[in-house]
Structure 1
């Protein structure tokens, strides 16, 4: 098993190397205010054990149903109420009782900003990546109230551990953010690498939502592109409860009025009439190009129209204890600049890049992505209540409907018989003789 722990020190914070205590089998991190990424790669034997364990976890009835889709690559969609259940499962099922380091890492998943599970079919290995934007909750001004302070190391002699403490340095290329610092793995090393992140955005539903909710992306300031050839894009992953009318979102005037430029890709379930329970796929994925407002001097927004499918009262949505309603949720989209690299640009591997996320397969191999950071103090999921038929109020619907149909049939039959009787009675005797 291999483990890599990387700390990124933000601007305005310093790190004293005296607070980094290194021994033969572990490192003591003291008073470090930084973002953190933990990455653990398992061997083949450990992968087989993990595969069986994860299959059991994702087949539990407490976890929302699994659905698959395919576009440029296979994607897996799994709704989890929280990371607590996964954390507890790993701690109790995968970690041994004597492996305190494993149990500690499993507990840490609960506070991660995101948690990725990647499987490499060539090496047959699992890689787990957890990212923490801060060590502990922040105060009202956004400052970290408590730094990282812990021991990290190989506690059982079987984990190759590498720890990096990096900060921003002046880069040699305009598109790069150069990082430099210390990498510790049985000895010392210093390296430099690039990472790209620009600005922030937030997401919310426009109120009132109704059955045609609008997802609004808000940007706190104007966004000049990193280069003239870059495009600002948003990649949305929509569960089957939601869908997009591709004809509506292809209208040039409609797009312009919502600060949208074009629909670049749409895959998955796109049937405009099918109810939620009749969809054959997990949902849909959409790549939209945004049109940053050229006249914006401050905050600006782009609005994406969505629609809700008819849902049943026993759908996978989470009940919000209101009769006749279930709760639907949609994850925040990924927002990024996509820039084609110039000829001769060295596209070196960035160890912090997250790949095979769905949208990167829609671009060429020589594309640079500049991501905008989602700005939220809560989970990156938007929720809304969806009206459904309350089965508790439908106990008399079937019998009443049958009675209404029978009464209507009898009423129509009586009117028909009555009209025939009146017509027969009103005929003259001469006409009756002619007919006979």
Structure 2
């Protein structure tokens, strides 16, 4: 196993290199205000047996989790996802693998939290791969907002019962801002990446004897030769067990994801009713790139309790009234009539292009997205709640002709929306501004406390109505009697 721990901090938060202490296979130093990323690279034989079996019948598997707690990011970790559990999956082509993966993948996902997955071919939606080939075949989402179940699963596999230090190390993952698992059949390795947002980080890392651990303390470096599609960094690198002191480094690498420097918030207009409208408040329409075409997009990840009507979003005049330009993508299928409790599919994702003011300014603007709630299962009290994660809002800009994005040490791909754009697209992300990146409301449903009385009253009304019809028929019969109808002679006229 290989581990890479990276601390990315601002220049003003730097610490003195002399304060770092490298002792054997450990590194320590003063607390550092930074973003921290830990990436573990593992071979198949280092994974749990059930996960090995799943990956052997998988072409690609990417699991992305994002926290509902807002965090501040820096440098190469600017990409955003809606809070919750995202799965992007491509099974191998042969039919036997597909049958086996029905059980294995959903079993694995249920270890990560309260996941309602029956099989990839019932619960997942299909992603388009006719435009660009860098997209997986299937997508799944579940509003899982904490990692408690996942951490417990890992602790049981990786830690001995008496190893308190191991448990403490993995319990720190519960506070992570995001967690990624990536595997593809070409590399035959799995990568697990945990990210903590900008905060005070404890600088104390040890390397087990059989593991290679690299530690980096990096800060931005805006060198003149760094392109708009690249990020320049400088700092210190240390390979534990090999280096006696940190070594200085300076390099640049391509990155498709950057920070736009503006924010947004989201809320439902009140009263919400059964057809709530999501309002996006964008703090500024300032373009992130001056000499390139850029368009502002919002990607909504909608659980199956709520959906967008694609036919409603195809009317240009209606879109213009909501500050929307076009519906660029909606996952299929989306049943417009089915209630929530009879559906197998997870929900839907919607990519909308927003209409920005013609004149660029630092003043904000709003856009409104009409949505529709499905009928919910009956509840005690006659009221149910629904929640929708914050969307991901970003500028999509075209990079210069000839720009390439080779693999970088901090690359993050297969996020759902990157497969909907060309390979030369730069994403400039807006930061969500809220205390919790989930919005919702209440919706009326059938009250189970009153359902019995409703059934009784309905039965009485039906019986009384039937008795009234029978009574009226008998009244007519007793008054007029009944006789067979006499044949009527019909005279046909010749038509001219």
Q: Give TM class, smaller chain.
A: 0.7 to 0.9
Distance 1:282 1:157 in 2: 43
CA contact 1:268–1:283 (8 Å) conserved in 2: no
Counterpart of 2:218? 166
Counterpart of 2:459? 402
Counterpart of 1:235? 299
Q: Does 1:217 align with 2:280?
A: yes
**Runs of 5+ in structure 2 lacking a partner?**
53-103, 118-122, 129-135, 483-496
Of the three residues 361, 378, 393, the one matched with 2:419 is 361
1:371-403: CA deviation from partner (whole Å, max 9, x where unpaired): 22223333x222322322122321233343233
Distance 1:276 1:243 in 2: 10
Aligned residue runs from structure 1 range 49-198, under 5 A:
49=49, 51=51, 58-59=109-110, 63-66=114-117, 67-72=123-128, 73=136, 74-97=138-161, 102-135=166-199, 147-154=200-207, 156-171=208-223, 172-185=226-239, 186-187=242-243, 188=247, 190=249, 191-195=251-255, 196-198=258-260
Distance 1:401 1:302, change over 3 A: same
**Runs of 5+ in structure 1 lacking a partner?**
136-146, 315-321, 426-436
Give me the TM-score of the superposition, normalised by structure 2. Answer: 0.75
1:279-319: CA deviation from partner (whole Å, max 9, x where unpaired): 341111111111222355422222211110111137xxxxx
| Greater relative contact order (Cα < 8 A, sep 6+) | 2
Q: Does 1:310 align with 2:375?
A: yes
Distance 1:122 1:97, change over 3 A: farther
After TM superposition, the structure 1 stretch with the greater mean CA deviation from structure 2, 416-425 or 21-30, is 416-425
CA contact 1:201–1:373 (8 Å) conserved in 2: yes
1:154-211: CA deviation from partner (whole Å, max 9, x where unpaired): 1x21221111111111142234332222222234351333542212222222222111
Q: How many residues align?
A: 406
Distance 1:325 1:128, change over 3 A: farther
Distance 1:260 1:41, change over 3 A: same
After TM superposition, the structure 1 stretch with the greater mean CA deviation from structure 2, 54-63 or 166-175, is 54-63
CA contact 2:300–2:349 (8 Å) conserved in 1: yes
Query: 1:273 Cα shift?
Result: 1.3
Moved >6 Å (runs of 4+): 52-55
Distance 2:470 2:479 in 1: 14
Distance 1:356 1:37 in 2: 18
Aligned residue runs from structure 1 range 324-343, under 5 A:
324-343=382-401
Distance 1:61 1:125, change over 3 A: closer
Distance 1:324 1:382, change over 3 A: same
Distance 1:99 1:192, change over 3 A: farther
Of the three residues 208, 230, 236, the one matched with 2:271 is 208
CA contact 1:4–1:163 (8 Å) conserved in 2: yes
Partner secondary structure for residue 124 of structure 2? strand
Distance 2:34 2:113 in 1: 35
